[in-house]
Amino acid sequence: MSIVGDYHMHTPRCKHATGPIAAYAEAALKLGLSEIGFSDHSPLPDGRGANVRMAPQELPAYVEEVLALREQYRSRLTIRLGLELDFVIGLESFNEKLVTAYPWDYVLGSVHYLDPDCRLSSWPANYRGNHDELFERYFALVRQMARSGLVDVVAHLDVVKRCGTPPGPQHRKLIETTLDEIAHAGVALEINTSGYRHPELRTPEPYPSFNIIAAALQRDIPLQVNSDAHDPSHVGMQFQMVTEQLRRTGCRSLVRFERRERLTYPI
């Protein structure tokens, strides 16, 4: 068996994805997937990060749109309702209300910002500052997110490498400590294939890289493979290649979700 679903897909409501959501469903059907999940960027209060996400008042319409598509495709494709939750220090109560307000099938957790005002990106372009400090700040927030109880899956773990410099051997302990926290928290880890289309990476690879995936497997951290699709053409990107690499690494199963219950299936 191969990967059954793609659970990280966006909609035009985030202002940087294209195509009607039905087009993502049709792309999945052509690939032979049996499940997909939409997990658009969560709203934030006070206009924070407003250029890359839906506004709070749009959230009910987003949920309604995905649930309507679920009914439309019920006989052909299982469609899950998800959310990509931005973990921001100081917004824990705001985010808790988001994750309890709707019948989510799963919540992906992401760290896109390093500051409470959401002005400092987790992967500043052409970063010329101290990379050790950048990585420390990013992975510290990932650990807090894993402990928060708000999310089911840690998304694109080492996405910080989009700054132009990947973590090096000197950051091994930092990453291992973060994986230990994820394992202790009992949440899953996403393998995000969008790195194969991001030109700022020195070498096209998923988030996280395969050496981190191998370390996650040693800790029995459940894994999920997603495309982070922002266009229907991104759906299922590099899934077959990643499946083959995972099998070589010793991975024998992946996870999917229904009403926030984690389910395991073989690959």
Cα separation, 208 vs 245, whole angstroms: 13
* 3 state SS of 113: strand
DSSP state of 235: T
DSSP state of 207: B
- Residue ranges per domain, the chain? 5-266
The dihedral formed by the CA atoms of 188, 194, 195 and 199, expressed in degrees to the nearest 10? -160
Q: How many CA atoms lie within 13 A of 158 on its CB side?
A: 26
> Strands 188-192 and 153-154: what pairing?
parallel
Buried b (16+ CB within 10 A) or exposed e, 80-92: bbbbbbbbbeebe
SS (H, E, C) 148-160: CCCCCEECCCCHH
For 149-190, how does the pLDDT look when each residue is reduced to its tens digit (9 = 90+)? 999 999 999 999 999 899 999 999 999 999 999 999 999 999
Which fold is adopted by the domain 5-266? Answer: TIM Barrel (3.20.20)
pLDDT along the chain (267 residues), means of 10: 93 97 98 98 97 97 98 98 97 97 98 96 89 95 98 97 92 97 98 96 95 98 98 98 96 97 97
Neighbours of 4 (CB within 10 A): 16
Cα separation, 51 vs 116, whole angstroms: 16
The residues, ordered by sequence, that sit 6+ positions from 173 with a Cβ below 8 Å of its Cβ are: none
- Token digits for 154? 């840690």
- List, in sequence order, every beta strand (DSSP E) within 3-148: 5-9, 35-41, 78-86, 106-110
* 3 state SS of 254: strand
What is the H or E stretch that residue 258 is in?
Answer: strand 253-258
Cα separation, 190 vs 22, whole angstroms: 24
Buried b (16+ CB within 10 A) or exposed e, 152-167: bbbbbbbbbbbbebbb
- Token digits for 214? 């191998």
pLDDT at position 1 is 57
What's the pTM?
A: 0.96
Q: How many residues does the chain have?
A: 267
Residue 51 C-alpha from the chain's centroid: 19
pLDDT at position 128 is 82
